[in-house]
Structure 1
Amino acid sequence: MSSAPSADLFQPLKADDPAVVGGYHLAAVLGSGGMGKVYLSYTPGGRPIALKVIRPEFSGDAEFRRRFQQEVRAAQRVQGLYTAPVIDSDTEGSQPWLATAYVPGPSLAHAVAQHGGLPLRSVLLLTVGVAEALNVIHGAGIVHRDLKPANVLLASDGPRVIDFGIARAADSTALTSTGVSIGTPAFMAPEQAAAGTITPATDIFALGQIAAYAAIGAPAFGDGPSHAVLYRIVHEDPDLSRLPDELRPLVTRCLSRDPADRPALTEVIELCHAISPDPLRQGEDWLPKAIAGSITERLQLPAPVKPPAPAPVTPTPTERSPQHPAPGAGAPPYPPTVGAAAAAPTQAAPGAPAAPAMPPRAPGATAPTAPGTQGGPGTMPPGYRTPYPGYQNAPGYQNPPGYGPGYRTPPPFHPGGFPPQPPKPKRTGLIVAASIVGAIVLLGVIGSLLPDSPKDNKSASSGGTSSTGGTNTGGSGTGGSTDATDGTQPRTDPKPVSYKNVDMTGNYYLMLADNPPRPTEDTESGVLYGHGDLFYYHDSMFGEDKLGTANGKLVLLNNAQKGSLETCRAETRYTERIGLDQLTNGSQICVLSDAGHIAVATYRGKSGAKDPSKYVTVDLTIWRNAADPKES
């Protein structure tokens, strides 16, 4: 085996590949998939890692980012012997990424494509290892949902399951809804293919598919167009005619069309031990020699990329630092005035005498001319540089006050020998006069706006019915009518805006002013999760799931009521918390925010008991600025 890395395994970076991601210098391309591209990189200590960069199409989807962040956090809790742990990630950058430990081994898909099916012992050890990995993944509240041969790596000491749970982030995004497929149809479960139902039993069906694929060397439901494969998965039985007789009972149970008939993971492991004629033990010899050789090849990694040394910066003459004077050379003269617009000094000609030290100069005195130079009083000698703080002057020279070691502000320098100009007198008289005139004008404007009689004052301050009988119910540009007798036009209600199937995760909140309203994680308020117009949380004191608001009021409408702007304005049965046990699919809630927005939230249900995330789904109809904002 050559010591050089294989060109097929480690592809060089292309022009469109980044050189650095999250501080990691990329060394090679490991592969690409539906959700992103995988690169080889190294930790600062030299350990290789696989770094997956999410495709830009997904990066621009806010819902994907939210779910991706959740799944990465969950994946970081998975620490199993048969998983590749997530060691670093960035879910909020311009292009999200995550890094896992690098596994020097081919995927099951690659091994089968190159060498065909595996022997019985290898298949059993593979199935046991993947079952143990799924047991740890499910224990962390995650369903893999995309278990396939490409996501099972064959390491020297057993299989490794990767990309667990990450596919969920792509569900229900704008990208997948337009036809981009995430997941491999040939390894989906019937309930996943038909209705999108995902449970831990979904992964057990995929495990049966993995075992059959490893033994047969082909998918149990055949190849072909995606729709044809999915039809066979939902309606037909798998082709297990080439499967070893010992494996057929186990695989058949895992591939049951009814999820309830599939075995538990612990039972899968027990059945594998019962099938094996010898005790199952993971070791260096668990794979055929041909596949083990490809593991050795993957250990010949490209060298880490050495960060380029910073290019030397050649300063311009005005940026060049002053040099220490040669022995016997004089110190530079006084520095120029701070902030003065002076021309950039020039370098001394070669061979020109150094500028002599200059004695302290009394304030207002003319600056002396350096010997051997031309120019009138105050002319700076050629080669003049402003000394840096702490500059050591020639022997016997005294620093002027405020200059030298600990230097802060240089003493003022007035070119040409002219004394400083006296400060201009402040024109306080004009300022005072202008202020008085402005105050008189302002009082006149205010007086013109006041009502003409005490009766009018009382009517205006009451905030209720005006003197002409009109009722003020709306804010600027909002619903309700104003007093029409003064010539103004009645204000119209704002147009409603609707949003369907908004998933609101526990401890997240919505703001009605956002367009679209996106769930935002509440990381500050602790117990009440109370920063939003509408939020979903678990009340640990009473053991209840509730919807709540921190910026207004909620009203649970009766079944006979229709959610509308008029209904929500008329209701006064206010509350700030509503338990989910009071809601059924279609229940409507008025949300009246202190900012003046009104919404009808239609409850559509909550996540299942086995779903790795707790969330509720609502439809929202929002009338923004439909009422006067509440004064804080």
Structure 2
Amino acid sequence: MTDTPSANLFKPLGESDPAVVGGYRLAAVLGTGGMGKVYLSYTPGGRPIALKVIRPEFSEDPEFRRRFKQEVHSAQRVQGLYTAPVIDSDTDGAQPWLATAYVPGPSLSHAVAQHGGLPLRSVLLLTVGVAEALHVIHGAGIIHRDLKPANVLLASDGPRVIDFGIARAADTTALTGTGVSVGTPTFMAPEQAAAGKVSPATDIFALGQIAAFAAIGSPAYGEGSSHAVLYRIVHEDPDLSRVPPELLPLVTRCLTRDPEQRPSLTEIIELCHELSPDALRQGEDWLPQAVAGSITERLRLPEPAKTPPPQPATAPTPTQFSPHNPAPGQPPAPGMVNPYAPTGFAMPAAPTQSAPGVPGPPPPLPGHAAHPTQGHHTPPPGYPTHHTPAPGYQTPAPGYQTPAPGYHTPPPVIHAPYVPPAQPKPKRTGLIVTGAIVGTLVVLGVIGSLLPDESGEDKGSGANSSGSSSGSSGGDNSSGGERKDPKPVSYKGIDITHSYEIMLADSPPRPVEGDDVAYGDADLYYVNYESSPSDTAIGTANGTLTLLNNSQKGSLETCRKETRYAKQIGLDQLSNGTQFCLRSDAGHIAVVTYRGKSGPNDASIYVSVDLTIWRNAEEPKDG
């Protein structure tokens, strides 16, 4: 949203603004940011929402679209008390958009610009709330990257963090180097400003800046050109001379230049409670009265549009859904459906409109008068018949008035229902012969299945060659009796790059790039969010994982017996030689042996694993 305060909170739509986006009728403009424009709209039930439409410049970049789709899917998993949830989106449309719950409160930047710095209690409650929001965001594998006062809204019951992770979609787009500004240099961390590296500690630095900004009413590294501010962030210490002494220990630790020396979110929350003279509890009185008045203003929303969103130009008219029957002897009006036409079939055209080789309508049956309208179909059974004028009767000209009294209408000729002649029943000799052959084959098959083969095993326990997509390496599936254990197949030194996935049915398994692997169909994937241990994991979207103890040896029997399971295993739990079981929903079982990860000088981020796979080792799960 925009950083510039405005007395006009809800601006009317301009000529360039759409009236409807994704079925939502737009009511007003809430603000404009680096990535798009934010509108006020309403759900069908009347709940207000904030709908952000991405700028066309970004929409045309394929890499942006791919990242934006991943980040929106990740953001939909964030459900915290201090975040504005994503409730709807369209990442594939001509102009992508996403909708979040509307928060009736000013941004921190707006509140400080209008009323100055906040009192100590408000700053501590603000810091605690944002820390809780970051805890949920980081738990979903997201780094905010653009945490700033404009992205912190002040609601009546505490702060709300918005736009988490969305800025990542623009990191690699070519537009960031052509004057399109997404991030805010004033609140960047040193490692982010110098080398573009981000981690959860990057958001901790931004949180310290937010606490200082809320207390003193201005950025800790001053204002000015982007280059000047970035230089101070990387090379100089912040100006904390006006920060209240009670808040100074917290801000100082968060703004430490070394990311590893910054406090964790849990430590920040504990420190806030220690620094507060009174117990910290969120409530309606957490903000000064003047700032709370801004919330009241934002509750006076524009009325939603009374009319429904405009329908497409091709939408059928009501008469096409509920046509009125035409008068007897008259053709249907333009746009009306012929009530006599069978459902799903169009009326045949007149003879002069038939295509070459397409016969026209059949001639009238003997003894039946022709209908004046070409292509008329026989009414379905039970449909009331219409009277047809006698031969020679002329249709009255337009404007013809009702005949004078005493005028006799020619007697009508009533069509008798057409009954098709009875057809002889076909002989079923071929069907009888076919049934006899099939019955004989079934009997022979049963007898053959009971005979032992040369090895002495029942033929019913033979291998099912179609049970595995990997050919000869697949398991032996029994069509009757117990399933035989398949032979294991081993693969050494498989390197799985960040956001790549493996399918156990492939022979050999080859890592391929996935799209939001954690919510796809990957048997095994690896994700690494900026090399942060808390956000780095090996996982499965199509099965379960079981981390084995040092005393356990990975085997088919061990994996079958284990009832413990997880969807992800953090890389901080693995060391060279650690094994875990993977049981895919498709019925494959594998022992994965972790062999290490890429070094700091490697061109890409990856992990190395060995795989021993038993394909089709158990029945696949439904769905």
* TM bracket, shorter-chain basis: 0.5 to 0.7
Q: 1:308 to 1:77 in 2, by over 3 A?
A: closer
- Counterpart code for 2:523: V
Decide whether aligned partners of structure 1 residues 133 and 323 sit closer, same or farther in structure 2, where only a CA change above 3 A counts. Answer: same
Question: Normalising to structure 1: TM-score of the pair?
Answer: 0.57
- Equivalence for 1:108: 108
Distance in 2 (CA, whole Å) between partners of 1:381 and 1:237 is: 92
Residues 289 and 341 (structure 1 numbering): CA distance in 2 closer, same or farther, change over 3 Å? farther
Q: Give the match for residue 33 of structure 1.
A: 33
Verify: 1:506 aligned to 2:500, yes or no.
yes
**Cα offset, 1:67, TM superposition:** 1.4
Matches within 5 A, 1:364-375: none
Please, what is the CA RMSD of the aligned residues? 4.2
Asked if residue 527 in structure 1 is aligned to residue 544 in structure 2, the reply is no
Residues 90-111 of structure 1: CA distance to partner in whole angstroms, max 9, x if unpaired?
Answer: 2122211111111000000011
Is this contact kept in 2: 1:155–1:295, CA < 8 A? Answer: yes
Structure 1: gaps spanning 5 or more residues: 1-5, 327-331, 344-360, 369-377, 404-502, 510-516, 530-535, 545-576, 587-602, 608-613, 616-632
Q: Structure 2 length as normaliser, TM-score? A: 0.58
Instruction: Give, in angstroms, the shift of residue 363 of structure 1.
Output: 2.7
Q: How far 1:178 sits from its partner (Å)? A: 3.4
Pairing 1:76-225 to 2, within 5 Å after superposition: 76-225=76-225
Conserved in 1, the CA contact under 8 Å of 2:78 and 2:136?
yes
Q: Distance in 1 between matches of 2:299 and 2:28?
A: 14
Higher mean Cα deviation, 201-210 or 132-141? Answer: 132-141
Question: Which stretch shifts more, 148-157 or 518-527?
Answer: 518-527
Paired with 1:114 and 1:190, the residues of 2 have a C-alpha distance of: 29
| 1:340 is aligned to 2:329 | no
Gaps of 5+ in 2: 1-5, 330-337, 354-362, 388-412, 421-496, 504-511, 526-536, 549-591, 609-623
Q: What corresponds to 1:323 in structure 2?
A: 326
The match for 2:418 is 401
1:286–1:322 CA distance, 2 compared to 1 (3 A): same
- Matched-pair contact (CA < 8 Å) for 2:131–2:268: yes
**Contact residue 598 and residue 605 of structure 2 kept, 8 A:** no
- TM-superposed deviation, 1:242: 1.4
Give 1:458-537 correspondences, 5 Å limit. 505-507=499-501, 526-527=522-523
Report whether the alignment pairs 1:307 with 2:308.
yes
Q: Per the alignment, do residues 399 and 142 of structure 1 end up closer, same or farther by CA in structure 2, a change over 3 Å counting? A: farther
Once the two structures are superposed, the pairs formed by residues 244-255 of structure 1 within 5 Å of their partners are: 244-255=244-255
> Percent identity over the alignment?
66
The aligned residue for residue 48 of structure 2 is 48
Once residues 274 and 191 of structure 1 are traced to their aligned partners in structure 2, the CA distance between those partners, rounded to angstroms, is 29
Residue equivalent to 1:268: 268
Query: How far apart, in 1, do the equivalents of 2:520 and 2:272 lie?
Result: 49
Contact 1:508 1:520 in 2 (8 A): no
The alignment covers a number of residue pairs equal to 413
Q: Is the 8 A contact 1:76 1:87 kept in 2?
A: yes
- Whole-angstrom distance in 1 between the partners of 2:502 and 2:515: 5
CA contact (8 A) 1:153 1:161 kept: yes
Shift of residue 538, structure 1, vs aligned partner = 6.4
Cα-to-partner distance string for 1:540-589 (whole Å, 9 max, x where unaligned): 87989xxxxxxxxxxxxxxxxxxxxxxxxxxxxxxxx9998597789xxx
**In the superposition, relative to structure 1, how do residues 106 and 367 fare at CA in structure 2: closer, same or farther (>3 Å)?**
same
Alpha-carbon distance in 2 for matches of 1:524, 1:269: 35
- Kept in 2, the 8 Å contact 1:13–1:27? The answer is yes
State the SS of the aligned residue for 1:323: coil
- Cα drift, residue 506 of structure 1: 2.3
Alignment-derived partner of residue 457 in structure 2: none
Distance 1:338 1:120, change over 3 A: same
**Alpha-carbon shift at residue 206 of structure 1 (Å):** 0.5
Aligned to 2:236: 236
CA-to-aligned-CA distance 1:284-316 (integer Å, 9 cap, x gap) = 111111111110110011111231576998899
1:367 Cα deviation from its structure 2 partner = 5.1
Q: How does 1:260-299 map to 2 (within 5 A)?
A: 260-299=260-299
Deviations 1:417-461 (A, max 9, x none): xxxxxxxxxxxxxxxxxxxxxxxxxxxxxxxxxxxxxxxxxxxxx
Q: Secondary structure at the match of 1:281?
A: coil
Q: Distance in 2 between matches of 1:73 and 1:47?
A: 22
- What do the CA deviations read for 1:525-547 (whole angstroms, capped 9, x no partner)? 65379xxxxxx996887989xxx
Deviation at 1:208, TM superposition (A): 0.7
- Distance change >3 Å, CA 216–CA 528, structure 1 → 2: closer
Deviating more after overlay: 135-144 vs 105-114:
135-144
- Spell out, residue by residue over 1:230-286, the C-alpha distance to the aligned partner (whole angstroms, 9 max, x if none): 000011111111111111121111111111221111111122112211111111111
* SS, match of residue 603 in structure 2: strand
CA contact (8 A) 1:507 1:537 kept: no
Is the contact made by 2:502 and 2:522 (CA closer than 8 Å) also made in structure 1? no
Per-residue deviation at 1:398? 3.6
Quote how far apart the aligned CAs of 1:521 are: 6.6
- Asked if the contact 2:347–2:376 (Cα under 8 Å) also holds between the matched residues in 1, the reply is no
